[in-house]
Amino acid sequence: MPLPRRLSRELPERDGESVRIAGHLEEYRALGGVAFALVRDGSGTTQVTLKKGTTDPALFATLEGLARESVVEVEGTVSRSTKSRRGVELLPSRLEILSVAEVPLPLGVVDRVPAELNVRLDHRILDLRKPAVRAVFELRAELLAGFRAAFARRGFLEVETPKLLRQGAEGGATLFAVDYFGAPAFLAQSPQLYKQMLIAAGLERVFEIAPAFRAEPSDTVRHITEFASLDAEVGYVTDPEEIRALLEGIVVDAVAATREALLRSANPLASGIPELHPPFPRIPFATAAAALGRGLDDDFGTDEEKAIGERAEREHGSPFYFVTDYPSAVKAGTFYAWRRDDDPSRTGYFDLGFRGLEIASGGRREHRLDRLQENMRRAGVDPARFASYLEGFRFGMPPHGGWGLGVDRLVQGLAGLPNIREARLFPRDRYRLEP
């Protein structure tokens, strides 16, 4: 029976034991009577130490000239060492080459020479082997686990809605058209309409983490065409502040859980995740616009969002903040947005920002059929094309609201990444469809 395979992170607890490890050969150095092979697996790197006089000479010959990133399997004894990264080394008794890497490597894995992002993405498999890159996706996984736990504690039901649709929720300009058995269809921009339909169905609290697609020809560091959207919808809410407080609590819990998990695993990104102290600042849209010296007819641009974020952190000490009370003129195309009864020029909509990045958008929805249909007509949308969506409103729709949150942007912000493409395993933009 073969020895059990152990991960690099397990070895400090197995001093004196015989184990088997496997991974990519990161480096091999021969220094006179001793040689060192660094073998990297998903949990870290193990130092394999070969000593002349005690190690089988055939093992030296096996490693000599072997290309970096080849896959090897090593059996040996774990021994304490003050000179190795993990405080232990592996003294080998058997070594087998499982796969030989081609040379030269198109992208260095441990080299200190930086590579352009496009080169990294062209050779994403090698790029993902880098511990610093892997750390981003460990953060992402912990963040999603934290969100799911936070939703579960608050009685939410996780759902899955269709990604092939007859029509979009936000107009046709940014829809990807597909051929659906000879009929036109579109990739989903958002699960918005389905979330509302589920509230009408009586599910009351739902959330979804799923891909969404926008055909925006944007070549920026914060836009991609396929992204992960975290959407939630809540029934029986009438005050937008109730929705904001719910989102705030979920974000606080998820970020705290992420930080704690990364500290436990010694992830280098843990130190950059802020400790949050709610409540987040609430900044009315009109206040932010006045500070920027501009009007209320258009949404904020990238530079303006950065300025709002800098001011929120400077004046309130919070990396997260809400921009509230969006004008109806800005949300004119968002037909499901509730307009205030006492002031129809304002909606119950808000954005959640993080250090100048718009992370989430949401608010109270319009649940009254007549007003919703009027909003649709004003937005140039024919209600007849949305019969399935409107059915719930015809047969009793509770007041409700919710939000959509961009997972990739939040990962980008928490990890301090300069480009959102680094927050996805295999990003898609207007020029990239592979790998």
pLDDT at 216: 87
Please report the pLDDT score of residue 290 as a whole number: 96
3-state secondary structure of 184: strand
Cβ atoms of 132 and 243 within 8 Å: the answer is: no
Instruction: Judge if 169 and 44 occupy the same domain.
Output: no
Quote the CA–CA distance of 372 and 336 in Å, as a whole number. 6
The answer to whether residue 123 sits within a structural domain is: no
Q: What is the pLDDT of residue 399?
A: 98
> Are 230 and 296 in the same domain?
yes
Nearest to 297 by CA among 262, 336, 326: 326
| 90 and 23 in a common domain | yes
What gap in Å lies between CA 74 and CA 96, rounded to an integer?
7
What is the percent of the chain with per-residue pLDDT over 70, rounded to a whole number? 99
Q: Is residue 109 part of a domain?
A: no
Q: Tens digits of per-residue pLDDT, 17-67?
A: 999 999 999 999 998 889 999 999 999 999 999 999 999 999 999 999 899
Instruction: Provide the greatest CA pair distance for the chain.
Output: 88
Confirm whether pTM is higher than 0.85: yes
Q: Which domain holds residue 83?
A: 8-99
- List, for residues 63-88, the tens digit of each pLDDT value: 998 999 999 999 999 999 988 888 99
The bridge status of strand 400-406 relative to strand 357-364 is: antiparallel
The CATH number given to whatever domain includes residue 262 is 3.30.930.10
- Helical residues (DSSP H) of 154-272, grouped into ranges: 192-200, 240-264
CA nearest 405: which of 395, 413, 393, 396?
Answer: 413
The one-letter code for the residue type at 402 is: G
Q: Are 200 and 343 found together in one domain?
A: yes
Cα dist from 278 to 31, 233, 252, 306, 396, whole Å: 56, 22, 8, 21, 35
Question: What total of structural domains would you count in the chain?
Answer: 2
The last residue of one of the domains, among 99, 116, 142, is 99
Q: Of 99, 119, 145, which marks where a domain is finished? A: 99
| 61 and 152, same domain (yes or no) | no
Average pLDDT (148-163) is 98
pLDDT of residue 169 exceeding 80: no
Mean pLDDT of 204-211: 98
Structure tokens at 238: 């009438």
Q: Are residues 81 and 162 in the same domain?
A: no
Beta-strand runs (E) in 32-86 = 34-41, 44-51, 71-80
For residues 343 and 354, give the distance between their C-alpha atoms in angstroms, rounded to a whole number: 29
Does the pLDDT value for residue 125 go beyond 80?
yes
Q: Are residues 314 and 255 in the same domain?
A: yes
Q: Clarify whether residues 308 and 376 are in a common domain.
A: yes
Same domain, 377 and 274: yes
